[in-house]
Structure 1
Amino acid sequence: MDPRIREHAAVVANHSVDLQEGDTVVVDAHPVAEDLVVALFEEIGDAGAKPLWTVKRAGKRPDRAFLRSADGAFETPEHELAMMEETDVYIAVRAGTNATETSDVDPATNTAYRQAYRPVQEERLSKRWCLTQYPAPANAQLAEMSTEAYENFVWDAVNKDWADQRDHQEQLVEILNPADEVRIKSGDETDLTMSIAGNQALNDHGKHNLPGGEVFTAPLPDSVEGTVHFDMPLYHEGREVTDAYLEFENGDVVAHEAGKNEAVLTEVLETDDGARRIGELGIGMNRDIDEFTYNMLFDEKMGDTVHMAVGRAYPVTVGDGNEVNDSSTHVDMIVDMSEDSFIEVDGERIQEDGTFVFE
């Protein structure tokens, strides 16, 4: 086994989820990630915890079959909810054999299923949890990299000094926490302002998402004004969406378009009322992620980027008395900030062309 796999497992166990004796642990992973599962089970055994390996994350082919066969009316899977209720720790490992397996599932069906599944997701997020990546060949192919190059990319981003990364990112947290207005400007098509007054900026240094490498918060839902061109593509439900463009008034999306798969973007925005508002503003700060790979777990952490999610806000980022944007969806999209771009906080420029004032 590559020693970096055991290092990866140790980071998950000891840094991300802080395994304790007696913990019940669900490891949810595709069989292609078996080496990482084995290394995680070693860590779980050393901690005196109790593991269960599930393959929900391997379920894209079965999920596709189920979703294409179902009548579109879904109920919350109570048996899966019960499992989450009895779980202390949830570790999800992204990996797969086909990144576009669900591309021929009707977006409306995906939306309906996601809404029914939401109680399971909420229960899962109430536990100690970590989402990470195993460098599977399908993900390497999507990133247009060799398997070896992708392995190096993943483990360079994951197996790092997270205490040092935390300290680096804390400088941005200290700027954002007392702030009111943030302005994002990039090129001719992105000029967006929002208030974050009273909300909390959080330092993501690998505790839940591994790799970490961002500082994120939530805007006041009705404060977002202007336009944004997400010039980096994303995969959503197995489909590529490019050049997403949103126009906001009083916090709501009032116009949108996309260069490819605009119908997918439309379906996201029509999920519910909250899906037409921004639930998250994130600023990428992981300099070891320096290539775009069509994997939001990594891409949103890139230095020189800003991402925003339409839909659900993380309640932990919302201050007392402020509104939590509620939705059953949360879809991140990315703006490249490396050229002709800046971020201003209360009128002061804190980043220009990807470089922070404290770098």
Structure 2
Amino acid sequence: MTDQRWAQLADHIATRLEVTADSRVSIFVNDAAALPGAHALIQAVTRRGAAVQTVYTSEFAEADALAAYDLDQLAAPAPVERAAMEWSTVHVSLRAMLWPEADTSSIVDLPQRLAALRTAKGVVSTLRWQGTRWAVVRVPTPDWAARINVPAETLLNEFFAGALDDWDANRERWQPVADALTNGAEVTITSADTDLTLGIAGRRGVLFAGDANLPDGEVATAPIDNQVDGHITFAGTAIFAGQVFEDLRLDFAAGQVVDVRATRGAEVARALIDTDEGSHRVGELGIGVSSAVRQWTGDLFIDEKILGTVHLALGRAYPECGGVNQSSLHWDIVKDLRSGAPGGGGTLAIDGTPVVDRGHVVWPGLS
């Protein structure tokens, strides 16, 4: 029997995205593991009278494409995906968590090819956030759970808890953090391997509470483009663009990445950062505030919501935060500030007032 929580999630998405009989809804699905969510969503929007189209956006052949296609082919956005996005007034992407299995290490010019592919995906993403009411749903899979030695049921339960949370109550609890970012001038992130300062004066703190990303739970802003200085280390393993990165360290000066180091993935990281002019800068600073999501997974989309984490996104800024940085890249990279995390616990403060202090959440109402 299908888990009834999928139907609850579909109704939540359709309500939040204001689906009506006049809506044109596109649904992207990347793997069979996400089909229960897709089927429930198709039913939910059809019952509201909306037109709906579903596109299978498979990722399994991306390694073959990276090996076979030239840079121009890789940088060309998928025409069916682009057409679907241009047709839509509402869009939902259901993205199953897929661990990278293909060995791409022998591909000639892999970093440049990977950056070209991200450019193509960035065109479609820009059409999504500029032209539709949208949501992206990150669906856990048994395979991913096995890779990180966590029971699949644990990941699925946290997924639903973080997607079907009490969003009205959360908005009330999290708003003071957003207000502090709006009214603040500077954020500092410090730990044994990190010392980073980000200017935020004049930018806006925005809540992400169940509307666009599921699971959800973050407060974000857009740092001043030339006011990010110092270094930050993202200890441990993270997955992005089908690649594995370990112990990634970024050095910043006057807002730009000036040095990249990593135990694994440094060359690929440098190529992604060189995607375009805007990808050298931080488009987003986010603070995870969800107490429903606790398990560190290595998946950036999930981990950035965990209470006690912080993340930077290189590249495109959210205009609602007052950001102006433009790029085809939006790469969220998450640092765990909790006690016991790789690299040890750390501190994030807004104008000297801690939100997370030495791995413990100390902001009133969050812990």
Superposition TM-score, scaled by structure 1 size: 0.91
Match of 1:355 in 2: 361
Deviation of the 1:210 alpha carbon: 0.8
Output the amino acid matched with 1:21: A
Match of 2:161 in 1: 156
- Is the Cα contact below 8 Å between 1:235 and 1:294 reproduced in 2? yes
Deviation of the 1:317 alpha carbon: 1.2
Deviation of the 1:144 alpha carbon: 2.6
Q: Structure 2 matches for 1:249-288, cutoff 5 A?
A: 249-288=253-292
Aligned length: 350
Gaps of 5+ in 1: none
Q: Structure 2 matches for 1:278-317, cutoff 5 A?
A: 278-317=282-321
Q: Structure 2 matches for 1:1-359, cutoff 5 A?
A: 1-15=2-16, 17-29=17-29, 30-56=31-57, 59-74=58-73, 75-95=76-96, 98-101=98-101, 104=104, 106-126=110-130, 127-187=132-192, 189-318=193-322, 324-339=324-339, 340-352=345-357, 353-359=359-365
CA distance in 2: counterparts of 1:279 and 1:103, whole angstroms = 31
- Is the Cα contact below 8 Å between 2:283 and 2:317 reproduced in 1? yes
- Tell which deviates more after alignment, 278-287 or 128-137: 128-137
Output the amino acid matched with 1:284: G
Deviation of the 1:11 alpha carbon: 1.8
Deviation of the 1:151 alpha carbon: 1.9
CA distance in 1: counterparts of 2:135 and 2:302, whole angstroms = 14
Match of 2:342 in 1: none
- State the secondary structure of the residue aligned to 2:93: strand
Deviation of the 1:216 alpha carbon: 0.4
Output the amino acid matched with 2:221: T
Deviation of the 1:87 alpha carbon: 0.6
CA distance in 1: counterparts of 2:7 and 2:282, whole angstroms = 38
* C-alpha distance after superposition, 1:206-238 (max 9, x if no partner): 111011100001101110111111124311222
**Structure 1 residues 121, 357: closer, same or farther in 2, change over 3 A?**
closer
- Tell which deviates more after alignment, 32-41 or 220-229: 32-41
- Is the Cα contact below 8 Å between 1:232 and 1:333 reproduced in 2? no
- Is the Cα contact below 8 Å between 1:32 and 1:95 reproduced in 2? yes
- Is the Cα contact below 8 Å between 1:290 and 1:302 reproduced in 2? yes
CA distance in 2: counterparts of 1:337 and 1:182, whole angstroms = 14
CA distance in 1: counterparts of 2:363 and 2:336, whole angstroms = 18
Sequence identity percentage: 29
- State the secondary structure of the residue aligned to 2:239: strand
CA distance in 2: counterparts of 1:161 and 1:95, whole angstroms = 24
CA distance in 1: counterparts of 2:18 and 2:148, whole angstroms = 31
- State the secondary structure of the residue aligned to 2:183: coil
Output the amino acid matched with 2:162: A
- Is the Cα contact below 8 Å between 2:233 and 2:250 reproduced in 1? yes
Deviation of the 1:172 alpha carbon: 0.4
**Structure 1 residues 261, 308: closer, same or farther in 2, change over 3 A?**
same
- State the secondary structure of the residue aligned to 1:334: strand
**Structure 1 residues 94, 82: closer, same or farther in 2, change over 3 A?**
closer
CA distance in 1: counterparts of 2:102 and 2:118, whole angstroms = 14
- Tell which deviates more after alignment, 79-88 or 134-143: 134-143
CA distance in 1: counterparts of 2:354 and 2:153, whole angstroms = 40
CA distance in 2: counterparts of 1:10 and 1:216, whole angstroms = 26
Gaps of 5+ in 2: 340-344
- State the secondary structure of the residue aligned to 1:233: strand
Deviation of the 1:101 alpha carbon: 4.4
- State the secondary structure of the residue aligned to 1:328: coil
CA distance in 2: counterparts of 1:326 and 1:232, whole angstroms = 29
CA distance in 1: counterparts of 2:259 and 2:163, whole angstroms = 38
Output the amino acid matched with 1:171: P
